[in-house]
Structure 1
């Protein structure tokens, strides 16, 4: 086994049964022109990895965020698997040091180019999937994406609170506030229910694993209610 590939496996904490898959995942098309001994590059793996990555992230957010709407799930997946996100993870894993590029591509800074790094990450995903199977591929990806997914979900959900606040501010003197209604369950698995109030009148309620999440869900219910009252709130589209 080539020393650099062994070091990469240690970094990934994934040890390949077929190390040739890992090697192939790191071969950029530009490398083949100067190395006739190689007859394959990573673009087919990139194609497969894109599908595996999307499915694994979708599976994770579907399981862990049962209250998220289809639109929220779609926005979260799109944000998490975008080029900049994949390139960032590739940098954390030092994939650039292992990608095999043609001389021209290397001289022009290919090892740091976001598109090349993102493609290499997708190819790596496919290699892990083919070598280790679906469950290992999922656990590998989830460990890398968990923090980013949580931040993205919070951002997507918080749009409801921001939007609701902006709507209420247009009414001038109206006051919006959030209150905790109930707290249930053991310490390790608590469930919070909060209400959002407009001038002390309950406008919406929601539940979640944290107070923040419950407030976001309450704001979502309030926004949906206000959208129905198109006569009174005609500026909500």
Structure 2
């Protein structure tokens, strides 16, 4: 599937295919290519600015009437490197990335920083091509889960909290188990169980194994500290 088939599928219009393609050109590809190409770094700069304003707008308009501190915290979580990487993977953008041979061999297609930057450059290209409304359609998809559960973003690390709580009794152990994986390979949804001494105490799901584990830990932690 090409990026244009992806845009068609999610009903995001496009006019300038060259601009959209540029979003996927990594600097390493330009350095090794004989073509006269521009990499995606300028688009990344634009995408970063667009994401800041649109995520801020969504938080400002949230039904819970968030205060400044809450909006600042949630925005930081929603546009951090890990979050941007997950958005890219959710859409399968890394499949279309153009990398130099060296970067490809060194695992660049799975590197968090590269995949996160890719999402920003993609957003920058879509914005310049067809405007904010098109970007909003993309954010409707990738932010749906996060915006529906903002409270979970405020907790830095539930796995650590759960481990510290359990370690107060050295005889107890914590383990995580992937119960199920659904969805396509480029946008999987993980269901994870957390067990304490072999007994299930919590479960959670998310678009990455790490996120699902955190939600499972959150579920277990809240049950244990009641």
Common fold: TM-score over 0.5 = yes
Matched, 1:71 2:72: no
Q: CA deviation at 1:96?
A: 1.2
Match of 1:129 in 2: 127
1:87–1:114 contact (8 Å) kept in structure 2: yes
How has the CA–CA distance of structure 1 residues 20 and 139 changed in structure 2, closer, same or farther, with 3 Å as cutoff?
same
Q: CA deviation at 1:66?
A: 5.1
Q: CA deviation at 1:97?
A: 1.1
Question: Which string of whole-angstrom CA distances, capped at 9 and with x for unpartnered residues, describes residues 68-123 of structure 1?
Answer: 11000000000011111110111111111100000000011111111000000000
Q: TM-score, normalised by structure 1?
A: 0.61
Match of 2:224 in 1: none
Match of 1:60 in 2: 58
Query: Which structure ranks higher in relative contact order (CA pairs < 8 Å, sequence separation ≥ 6)?
Result: 2
Matched, 1:30 2:28: yes
Q: CA deviation at 1:12?
A: 4.3
Match of 1:7 in 2: 5
2:3–2:93 contact (8 Å) kept in structure 1: no
Q: Using the TM superposition, name which of 51-60 and 4-13 deviates more.
A: 4-13
How many corresponding residue pairs? 155
2: CA distance between counterparts of 1:41 and 1:155? 33
Q: Where do 5+ consecutive residues of structure 2 fail to align?
A: 156-226
1: CA distance between counterparts of 2:94 and 2:153? 30
Larger Rg: 1
Question: Which string of whole-angstrom CA distances, capped at 9 and with x for unpartnered residues, describes residues 172-226 of structure 1?
Answer: xxxxxxxxxxxxxxxxxxxxxxxxxxxxxxxxxxxxxxxxxxxxxxxxxxxxxxx
Q: Using the TM superposition, name which of 129-138 and 104-113 deviates more.
A: 129-138
